[in-house]
A and B are shown apart, each in its own frame.
Chain A
Amino acid sequence: MGTAVLPLTGKRGSGSPLLALFPAAALLLFLAPVLAGLASTALAAFGYLPALGGTAPGLDPWRRLFAVPGLGASLGLTLRTGFLAAAVSLAAVLGLCATLHGSRLFRWLSRMLAPLLALPHAAAAIGLAFLIAPSGWVSRLLSPGLTGWQRPPDIAIVHDPFGLCLVLGLTLKEIPYLLFMAVAALEQIRVREQLAVCRTLGHGRAAAWLHVLIPQLYRQIRLPVYAVLAFSLSVVDVAVILAPTEPPPFSVLLFRLFTDRDLGLFFPASAGALLQLALTVAAIGVWRLGECAAGGLGRRLVCRGGARVPEGPAVSGFFGAVAGLPVLLSLGGALALALGSLSRSWFFPQALPSAWTLAHWMRHAPELLRPAGVTFAAALAAAAVGLFLVIGCLQNERVNGRNPAARTLWLLYTPLLVPQIAFLSGLQVLLVRLGLDGTWTALVGSHLLFVFPYLFLSLADPWRAFDLRYRTVALSLCGSRARSFLRVELPLMRRAVLFAFAVGFAVSANQYLPTLFAGAGRLTTLTVEAVTLASGNDPRVTGIYALAQAALPLAVFAAALALGARRRF
């Protein structure tokens, strides 16, 4: 019976009706809360929120939003830093691939950058500030000996008016992420063969990458690039730590409006949330136009015989250094945080703490346990449920073909493209109404909104690149779809699945606003505690919580890498 002809895809008749449910279920589960949250924010944006006395709809919230002082400068800052961070990260990753792909340095860098994916944004930003601020560790190491500074210099390195420090902080996380996505995508492009063809046609390595490989690579990582752009435009926690303060980026301005003591500002804040959404969509549109322009330019160049592209050790060394910078800065920041957490007191310009103590760790360790437990359980649950759903959706594609529901799955990226604050405050009302706030369901569910799209981004390409001949053989040997899936297909995908799981875990452990809104003070995670206690600006406490916050995702990453490396065949 094993030799009977089993349908490989739905196009040939009976598919799997069970699997066909996955995309629809996922869409309903994830889109409904986002849309409900957005709707409630939109109502408030037009003046309707009876709980705060808003019963007369109108345009007043918008008038008040546009009257907020510094709005223009704030929007300008956001667009400048957002585009710059995304462009720099993308350029660094493409440059790195083009100049170093296949080399030992490239493999080393992509291995070193993977754990950085697990590092929480806020912790990375705090570490960076610790490192490069005028009174930071680097300045302390050089002072007063080399610099002559007895006091920190009065220069705005962190919070600089142009926003360069914010851009640097964002690239710290975005370069590893894009590189990781690019490495996965490159596995499906036959790089070596295409390079060989180009070379026989007389083109250099750099020209081959620019004209032949990068266009193919870019097409595959386009969605992650959009996610990076949207993230850069709407990030709050990193911006609070690194961006200019007067005026701040628009996302921070909005957050301030939402949390102002004047509750009436909730209305213009809601209008602002919609504006932020429009801004993100418009920015992606502009980026898309840029893609077309770049594509056109590239084609014209090719017709003229290709561009003259500089190459050589200097160029590859440059890109190696650019990609190495996040590793260096993150490690340095983590080390500075660790030193800080062990210090009794540590004032400028001492290179190291003047007195050491374990007391802070001893005092905070018991308080870390409960939030650590919640973080672990929620991230485990969110990553597991997310993985189940993502694999279901992808397997549905494999078995049933790309049916209409599967083709609308891109909608699931909405939570990454919509600024969190725009729908989370509305979602909070919904959760309260359902009596779900402060429950595990709400916590894991709200994390899933963000875990799911990242899992999908991580798994979709490897899944689609799976060599279907394995499946054909497995089906004929096992005789059932389930057995073929569990015994052959899943084990073959093990490494990608484990890595995606670790990414999902890290994304969940990283969530600040969703935890705040869904946890209702009943369930709190290390990230929430870290951000909250960072408001006290005690370097020891900040260090302890930032390190504790980073430890769990890093451990899961390490475990995933170790498990993935084990041979089973």
Chain B
Amino acid sequence: MIAALRSLTVTAAVFAALRLAEAQGLPPTWEGILERARGQDVYWNAWAGDEPTNAFIAWVGRRVKETAGVNLVHVKLSLTAEAVSRVVAEKAAGRHEGGSIDLIWINGENFLAMKEQGLLFGPFTHRLPHFGLVDTAGKPSTVIDFTVPTEGYESPWRMARIVYVYDAARLPRPPRSIPAMLDWARANPGRITHPRIRNFLGSTFLKQALYELIDDPGRLVRPVGEEEFLARSAPLWRWYEELKPLLWRRGEQFPESGPAMRALLADGEIDIMISFNPNEATAGIARGILPPTVRTFVLERGTIGNTSFVAIPYNARHKEGALVVADFLLTPESQARAMHPEGMGNPTVLDLDRLAPEDRRRFAALPRGVATLSPEELGRALPEPHPSWMNRIVAEWERRYSR
């Protein structure tokens, strides 16, 4: 009876999936998708400000061409918002199919914005054969993007983690807590900064500080209202009020972006910078854009981790090809390549225990970068706060300091 019921549920689920596939206009089987994807051009819109990432995307293009006959084109963006506004323009013009973007590298707020405006295709991750290897339990940020469940509307492709990069030649013992950072800045004014507040790294700098200064960090994963935010974030503003005049340029000017801040570290204008790439220091040394003496540290009480995703616009012309690329990004081959410290050096989204032994060996064989922390040193990742915290931090910062 129970068995019959279960098989009935399974059948129903299969039928539901098939109906969904039909409704989405996709072939019902992966083979069918592969067949249709062959020969398709996939326009992947991705921020192009990081050379190792650009090189990785170019490699993905060569591999999906060889394995699946998909022509991947990297549409280089200076801001993800360019792609978002293009989808908006297409929707406004009534182009509900045949859109010009097939795949977007997307994270957090951009994802939430597009999903809320109905600009994304999905759910689709259940169609990807390799999605089953993703460590959704051990790395919850692969399915929960800034506390918002992804619900299959975006597929993870690499892990990111807040780290701090410092020049060990000038700073032998970096401050490993948020209060210690202020003490250090008092003794060394002008030696630290963060990107401007509306750059995601700028707000991240404050978000990470809030984690340590708030009395109940567990509160951060739930939405927050104006009044509660002001009450709970008071310690953050006390800290920042004191730190701000001790920042680079007395806290009156800020670098435009993370890479602009990295140039300041390279030339010795600052000693510490925040980064979302755990391999930032090693990659920078390898490329000659950071001095060989830079190293990485994290805060003793942990740092925020999140995940980079790809999503498919609702009107994408070549959804099948986009699915094939999204799936390829989850293969052990691609994930091991992404983790190589001489390339991007991003930790994998996969659960290594679920891999075949020969695939596991790919990861075991990876060297560790000179300035990259081991997983043990990185410690546990803190979940991203709910987006409302970030939005309120930005608004409050602008209220206080933008004149």
Question: Interface size on A (CB < 8 Å)?
Answer: 63
Query: Given contacts A50-B92, A70-B398, A345-B289, is CB(A245)–CB(B253) below 8 Å?
Result: yes
Query: Given contacts A259-B79, A538-B287, is CB(A159)–CB(B253) below 8 Å?
Result: yes
| Residue A200 at the chain B interface, CB threshold 8 Å | no
Q: Are B403 and A73 in contact (CB under 8 A)?
A: yes
| Residue A156 at the chain B interface, CB threshold 8 Å | yes
Closest to A150 in B: B268
Choose one: B47, B75, B91; the contact of A521 (CB below 8 Å).
Answer: B75
Chain B: minimal CB distance from A297 (Å)? 36
Chain B: minimal CB distance from A57 (Å)? 16
| Residue A176 at the chain B interface, CB threshold 8 Å | no
Q: Are A263 and B117 in contact (CB under 8 A)?
A: yes
Interface residues, chain B, with chain A CB atoms under 8 Å away: 43, 45, 47-51, 73, 75-86, 88-95, 100-101, 108-110, 113, 117, 190, 196, 198, 200, 248-249, 252-254, 256-257, 259-260, 262-264, 266-269, 287-289, 291, 391, 398-399, 401-403
Q: What's the Cα separation between A438 and B43 when bound, in Å? A: 12
- A56-95 contacts to B, CB under 8 A, are 69-70, 72-73
Q: What's the Cα separation between A244 and B256 when bound, in Å? A: 10
Query: Given contacts A259-B82, A536-B48, is CB(A245)–CB(B256) below 8 Å?
Result: yes
Contacts of B95 in A (CB 8 A): 432-433, 435
Task: Give the contact stretch, choosing among A99-107, A388-396, A423-431.
Answer: A423-431
Q: Are B248 and A536 in contact (CB under 8 A)?
A: no
| Residue A473 at the chain B interface, CB threshold 8 Å | no
Q: Are B267 and A347 in contact (CB under 8 A)?
A: yes
Q: Are A69 and B398 in contact (CB under 8 A)?
A: yes
Chain A: minimal CB distance from B280 (Å)? 13
Q: Are A154 and B267 in contact (CB under 8 A)?
A: no
Residue of A240, A347, A432, A539 contacting most chain B CB atoms (<10 Å): A432
Task: Give the contact stretch, choosing among A185-193, A373-381, A525-533.
Answer: A525-533
Contacts of B83 in A (CB 8 A): 521
Chain A: minimal CB distance from B176 (Å)? 24
Closest to B77 in A: A532
Q: What's the Cα separation between A244 and B402 when bound, in Å? A: 12
5 contacts between A and B (CB under 8 A): A70-B398, A135-B267, A258-B81, A529-B76, A537-B257
Q: Are B100 and A536 in contact (CB under 8 A)?
A: no
Query: Given contacts A345-B289, A524-B76, is CB(A259)–CB(B85) below 8 Å?
Result: yes
| Residue A262 at the chain B interface, CB threshold 8 Å | yes
Choose one: A135, A161, A521; the contact of B269 (CB below 8 Å).
Answer: A135
Q: Are A432 and B89 in contact (CB under 8 A)?
A: yes
Q: Are B47 and A535 in contact (CB under 8 A)?
A: yes
Choose one: B78, B117, B289; the contact of A535 (CB below 8 Å).
Answer: B78
Query: Given contacts A156-B249, A247-B403, A343-B288, is CB(A532)–CB(B76) below 8 Å?
Result: yes
- A3-17 contacts to B, CB under 8 A, are none
Q: Are B263 and A539 in contact (CB under 8 A)?
A: yes
Chain A: minimal CB distance from B97 (Å)? 12
**Besides the known contacts A246-B402, A521-B86, 16 further A-B residue pairs in the complex with CB atoms under 8 A apart:** A51-B91, A72-B403, A156-B252, A245-B196, A261-B113, A262-B391, A347-B267, A516-B82, A521-B83, A532-B78, A535-B49, A535-B78, A535-B79, A535-B257, A538-B287, A539-B263
Q: Are B100 and A438 in contact (CB under 8 A)?
A: yes
Q: Are A539 and B289 in contact (CB under 8 A)?
A: yes
Q: What's the Cα separation between A524 and B287 when bound, in Å? A: 27
Chain B: minimal CB distance from A5 (Å)? 56
Query: Given contacts A53-B117, A258-B85, A260-B81, is CB(A152)–CB(B268) below 8 Å?
Result: yes
Q: Are B82 and A428 in contact (CB under 8 A)?
A: no
- A511-549 contacts to B, CB under 8 A, are 516, 520-522, 524, 529, 531-541
Contacts of A245 in B (CB 8 A): 196, 253-254, 256
Contacts of B113 in A (CB 8 A): 261-263
Query: Given contacts A152-B269, A261-B109, A537-B260, is CB(A247)–CB(B81) below 8 Å?
Result: no
1/0 per residue A231-257: CB within 8 Å of B?
000000000100011110000000010
| Residue A209 at the chain B interface, CB threshold 8 Å | no
Contacts of A540 in B (CB 8 A): 289
